[in-house]
Structure 1
Amino acid sequence: MAGVFGVWPGPGRHPAGGIRAFRNLEVRSTQQRTLKRERALFQIILAIHILAAVIFLGNIITTAFWKVRADKSGNLEHMAMTSRSILLADYVFTGPGIATLLVTGILLAGLSGWERFQEMWLGLSLALLFLTAFIWAGVLIPLQLRMVRLSQEGLASGSLDPAYTRTSKRWSMYGGIATLLPIIILFLMVLRP
């Protein structure tokens, strides 16, 4: 009995086995292409995640530096300008940084498998980032708005209201916490304890 090409493939073999083997190769090739695309997507999202972390951490650390310098100068114009600039930098870098870290972090965990959220370091990192976002939006931004207002009033009147100093101290305390938490997150991300 002749097979597909006129030759019987042998006992226990199907004459169309070559076609099936080709289809299996085709499926494996498609799976490999999909896997490569997923890896590339993961790497792109990871790069965005790392860039967001660098910009976010850089902004919150340098913000404290410029704030301390402005306050120590005693120059009302410099203090008012720095307060406005910190608020602007938070709207441009801190807020989008937190949002980008949350979105890309969740996407990375999803691409790695949702069970990753059960790993202590990842769950703790996510909780600390949410806490950081809460402190930033719920405490620091209102304090910064108050410092901007008080510094503008001080600039107009020629003397700084003591409320500015009290507000600045609270901002420094909560800002220190909101800076320490992302540094802890950074160590958790790298060490994965």
Structure 2
Amino acid sequence: MEYFTVKFIHVLGVVLFLGNIIVSALWKTQADRTQNPVVIAFACRLVNMTDLFFTAFGAALITIGGIGLFHATGIAISDAPHLTIGIGLFGMAAMLWLTGLLPLQIYMSKIAAKTVQAGESTMPAAYEKSRKLWNIIGGIAVLLPLGTLYFMIFR
């Protein structure tokens, strides 16, 4: 592929990926502050939907574009330690998302939906515990890609 094509794919992936993880965290945090199970359930559903599309699709575009850029530029990974660090941080963020955030989000969404179905006005303790863990893991999962962005731009 041509350099500008793969660069466009890569940058589009970064915009979708970073934009979604930051906006999702904001939506979810603001919904939790309302303490309204209906609002929280709605936000949880949207976070799950947008994560599966924008985060996963963005990550795929980042990967495809990144591999394409390696081929288009002929850069050897051994000649670019900043790329190795950036790729490592991105990989760690992906693992956190797959093993921590995604399962927690699905679990919290189920709790919120059941709470709304039961007509309850407060979220159960299990949700609150999960929310706190999600905030910690999510904070790290946002910082890692921002670190990746730093190493990819400021060699």
The TM tier, using the shorter chain, reads over 0.9
Q: TM-score, normalised by structure 1?
A: 0.76
Aligned residue for 1:179, secondary structure, equals helix
Does 2:66 match 1:100?
no
Higher mean C-alpha displacement, 86-95 vs 102-111 = 102-111
Does 2:152 match 1:186?
no
Equivalent residue for 1:58, pick from 19, 22, 33: 19
Does 2:123 match 1:160?
yes
Matches within 5 A, 1:67-82: 67-82=28-43
Equivalent residue for 1:143, pick from 93, 104, 112: 104
Q: Please list every run of 5 or more consecutive structure 2 residues that lacks an aligned counterpart in the other structure.
A: none
Q: Summarize deviations over 1:88-137 as a string: whole Å, max 9, x none.
A: 00001001111211121012012212514541110111111111111111
Whole-angstrom CA distance in 2 between matches of 1:75 and 1:45: 44
* Number of residue pairs the alignment of both structures matches: 153
Equivalent residue for 1:171, pick from 134, 143, 147: 134
Whole-angstrom CA distance in 2 between matches of 1:128 and 1:110: 21
Whole-angstrom CA distance in 2 between matches of 1:45 and 1:114: 14
Aligned twin of 2:85: 124
Aligned residue for 1:160, secondary structure, equals coil
Tell me which stretches of 4 or more aligned residues in structure 1 moved more than 4 Å: none
Larger radius of gyration: 1
8 Å Cα contact 1:98/1:129 also seen in 2: no
Aligned twin of 1:113: 74
Whole-angstrom CA distance in 2 between matches of 1:118 and 1:139: 33
Aligned residue for 2:76, secondary structure, equals helix
* Alignment root-mean-square deviation, CA: 1.3
Q: Summarize deviations over 1:27-68 as a string: whole Å, max 9, x none.
A: xxxxxxxxxxx6xx1111101111110111111001111111
Larger relative contact order, structure 1 or 2 (CA cutoff 8 Å, min sep 6) = 2
CA gap of 1:77–1:117, structure 2 versus 1, over 3 A, is farther
Matches within 5 A, 1:15-34: none
Whole-angstrom CA distance in 1 between matches of 2:68 and 2:90: 15
One-letter amino acid matched to 1:161: P
State the 1:169 CA deviation: 0.8
**% identical aligned pairs:** 33
